[in-house]
Structure 1
C-alpha cells in the first residue's frame, strides 16, 4: 500500500507519537514549536518531521471536515500515519446535538431544544448517515496509505455485559471493514479473572485489537475533574495494564497521565515498559507497535517519548528519520534540491540516491539533509541515567526554537544563570513475571 504503513520494515518496531499535536500547554511552553509556526497544518508539518504517527483526538468531539483532513495529508511526509479516535456518539451512545454534522442535524427534531442526543433516539437511517459521514471522512486518509488505527474508547460505566458486547460488534460492523479497529475498555472488569481470556478471545474472533492502557488509580476513579494531582497523603497507584496482542497486524499502547503538571514517567516506570516490550510481544505479531503518549502537559509527551526511546534497543525503534531522507516530503528543501539535481544532471548516476551513498566531503547535500531534520530526539549523551536530572537541560537544548542572535554582553558581565530544573514525579514500578495476563506495578510513594 502507498505511504508505507504496511512496510515490512515496521514489523515489531516501536512507532512513538502523541495524542494530539496542538495541546494548549504545549503551544504556550514554546519548547517544541518554533514561534513562526502558527496554523494547525504548520504545527503538524513540524511535528511530523520528528514523529511517524499521531492520534487525532478532536474526532471524538466532532467528525473532522474533509477540507481539514485534506490539509493534514498535504502537511505530512510519505509514510506518516494518522490514528483517529472514534466519534463520541458511537462510544458513549450520546453526544451534543451540535456535534452532529450540520447536514444531518437539520433533519433532527427534538421538543424542548435538548442539548444532547442519545443514540437510541436516532432512527436507523440517521445512525447510518452519521456512520457514512465518519467513514467517508477517513477514506482519503486510507487511500493515501496514511490511516492507522480507529480507536474506540469505552468509559468506566461501560461494563462487560451481553448488551455492551453487542454494541461493540455493532461498531465493528458499521466501521468500514478495511479500517483497523482498536478497543480501549477503561472499566477493568473486562480483565478480571476469567473475563480476561474471554475478552481477548472474543476480540480476536471479531478482528479487533485490545489497547494496552497505562493509567493511575486516582486519576481514573476520582470524581472531581478539577483535581490537580495526587491528594495529599495518598500513595500513587497504577492500574493493571491489560497486555494481550489480539490482532497480528499491530499492537496499540496508550499512556495516560491526566492531572497536575508532573506527568513525566520515572526511570522505573520506563523500565517496566521496556520489559513489556522486550519480553511480552508474541512472535505472531506481524506489524508495528504504536506507542502513544497522552501525558499532555507542556512538552512532557515529547520528553517521555525520547526517554523511553533511549532505553529501548535501537533494533526495536522504527527509524523515521531515515525514511524521510529516502522519501522527503514535497516542498521540503531536500526534495527541491533532489528534484533540481535530477532535472539538470544528464546521467542518473551523477547524484547519490541515498544518504548513505553521499561522500563525506559532499557538504552541500549533507547540509541540506541535516536542515530537513533540525531536531534530534536522541540525547546528546549516550548515557541512560536519572531521567529527572537530565530532563530540563535536554529539553532546552534540543527543543527550544532557534532565536535571533543578540549582541554580546559587555566585558566581565556575568550572564544570567540557567533556570531551575523542574522536578518530575517519582514512582517505583516493579514488573511481575506473569506472562498470561498483564503487569501490575507495585504502589509507590509520592
Structure 2
C-alpha cells in the first residue's frame, strides 16, 4: 500500500506569481519540474484537457523526473463531452473539422475518422510516460451535462474502449444523477464492470454542478482522491483571469486531518492511492499537500520513490 500526494499542475500562473513555492532563479520549465519533483512524487497534467498533449513534452517530462515519479493526465476536453473551441484542435486538422458555423464543437459533431485520429494522437502523446512506467491514470472529468442516462453510460463505456491494455482510466462525474439515491449503486457497479478508477472528489456541497464525496473503490490497483477546495462563493465564478481562482481555498488542519483519516481507510483496499490537490490558487495546494503528507507519515518526498 502506498499513498502519493501531489497537486494539479506545477505551472499555474498564480503559483508562479506568488513566488512562495519555487526558489529564486527557478524560472525555466525544466527547473520548475525538477524542483516540483524533488518535493512531491506525483503531479496531475491539466494542460492536456485544454489542448492535445505533445509527445515531445512527455518525453522531456520523463527525463526531468525521478524514476518512480508519476503523472496523471487529464483527457482532452472533447473526449469528456465538453464544448471544444476550434482553435484547440491541431492545426493540420482544422480543414477536416465539421464546417457547421459553430465556434465550439462536441464529440457528437465529429466524423468517426476525426475521432479516431484524435484518440490516436492523444494516446501517442502520452505513450512516453506509459512506456517509462510513469503514467498513473488518464483522468476523465466529464462535463456536468453528461448524465447517468443511456447516452452517458454509452459514452463513458466508449471512452473506456479506447484505452489500450495497461492504461488505467479514472472517471470523475459532475452531474448529480450519477450518485443520487437511485443511481449510486449502479454507477459504482458500472465503474467496477469496466475497471474504471472511481474518483473521490472533495468539493463545495450545494451548487447544482457538484456531487457528494463517495469514498468507494472500484479498481483494486488504484484509488484517486481529488481535492478541489470547499469555496462555494467561487465555485461558479464568472470572468476569472485564471481558472485557479475558482479553487481559491486553503484547507485548515482539522479538515486535512479528517481527510487523512478517510484516505487511510480507502488506501487499505488498493495497491496505490493518489491524492491530488486541485485548490491550485497561488501555493495553497502545495502547502496543503505538504501538511497532509506529514499527517500521513508519508516519506515520499525528495526521492520520488
TM-score scaled by length of structure 2:
0.89
Mark the CA change 1:61 to 1:213 in structure 2 (over 3 Å): closer, same or farther.
same
Deviations 1:376-425 (A, max 9, x none): xxxxxxxxxxxxxxxxxxxxxxxxxxxxxxxxxxxxxxxxxxxxxxxxxx
Distance 1:41 1:136 in 2: 22
Partners of 2:226 and 2:275 within 8 A in 1 = yes
Alpha-carbon shift at residue 264 of structure 1 (Å): 1.4
Distance 2:218 2:295 in 1: 26
Residue aligning to 1:356: none
Q: Secondary structure at the match of 2:212?
A: coil
Residue aligning to 2:142: 154
Alpha-carbon shift at residue 91 of structure 1 (Å): 0.4
Alpha-carbon shift at residue 185 of structure 1 (Å): 0.7
Partners of 2:51 and 2:89 within 8 A in 1 = yes
Match of 1:52 among 36, 41, 47: 41
Query: Does 1:303 pair with 2:275?
Result: no
Deviations 1:350-377 (A, max 9, x none): xxxxxxxxxxxxxxxxxxxxxxxxxxxx
Alpha-carbon shift at residue 270 of structure 1 (Å): 1.4
Alpha-carbon shift at residue 323 of structure 1 (Å): 5.2
Structure 1: gaps of 5 or more residues: 1-10, 223-237, 325-446
Residue aligning to 1:143: 131
The structure whose RCO (Cα within 8 Å, separation 6+) is larger is 2
Question: What pairs with 1:128-277 in structure 2 (closer than 5 Å)?
Answer: 128-217=116-205, 220-221=207-208, 240-257=212-229, 259=234, 263-277=249-263
Alpha-carbon shift at residue 209 of structure 1 (Å): 0.9
Partners of 2:86 and 2:104 within 8 A in 1 = yes
Distance 2:22 2:38 in 1: 12
Deviations 1:66-91 (A, max 9, x none): 22222222211111111100000000
Partners of 2:169 and 2:197 within 8 A in 1 = yes
Mark the CA change 1:71 to 1:130 in structure 2 (over 3 Å): closer, same or farther.
same
Alpha-carbon shift at residue 25 of structure 1 (Å): 1.3
Partners of 1:15 and 1:318 within 8 A in 2 = no
Query: Does 1:290 pair with 2:274?
Result: yes
Alpha-carbon shift at residue 278 of structure 1 (Å): 3.0
Partners of 1:59 and 1:84 within 8 A in 2 = yes
**Larger Rg, first or second structure (1 or 2):** 1
Residue aligning to 2:51: 62
Alpha-carbon shift at residue 281 of structure 1 (Å): 4.2
TM-score scaled by length of structure 1:
0.62
Residue aligning to 1:78: 67
Alpha-carbon shift at residue 93 of structure 1 (Å): 4.9
Distance 1:282 1:32 in 2: 32
Q: Secondary structure at the match of 1:140?
A: helix
Distance 1:194 1:281 in 2: 27
Distance 1:111 1:156 in 2: 24
Deviations 1:156-189 (A, max 9, x none): 2222101100000010111223211000011232
Residue aligning to 2:240: none
Structure 2: gaps of 5 or more residues: 235-244
Q: Secondary structure at the match of 2:144?
A: coil
Match of 1:279 among 246, 250, 265: 265
Query: Does 1:35 pair with 2:24?
Result: yes
Distance 1:178 1:73 in 2: 18
Partners of 2:50 and 2:76 within 8 A in 1 = yes
Q: Secondary structure at the match of 2:38?
A: coil
Distance 1:137 1:50 in 2: 26
Alpha-carbon shift at residue 282 of structure 1 (Å): 4.7
Alpha-carbon shift at residue 239 of structure 1 (Å): 5.8
Distance 1:39 1:195 in 2: 47
Mark the CA change 1:216 to 1:93 in structure 2 (over 3 Å): closer, same or farther.
closer
Deviations 1:38-65 (A, max 9, x none): 2222211110011111000010011122
Residue aligning to 1:117: 105
Residue aligning to 1:431: none
Mark the CA change 1:111 to 1:307 in structure 2 (over 3 Å): closer, same or farther.
closer
Residue aligning to 1:376: none
Query: Does 1:20 pair with 2:20?
Result: no
Alpha-carbon shift at residue 320 of structure 1 (Å): 3.8
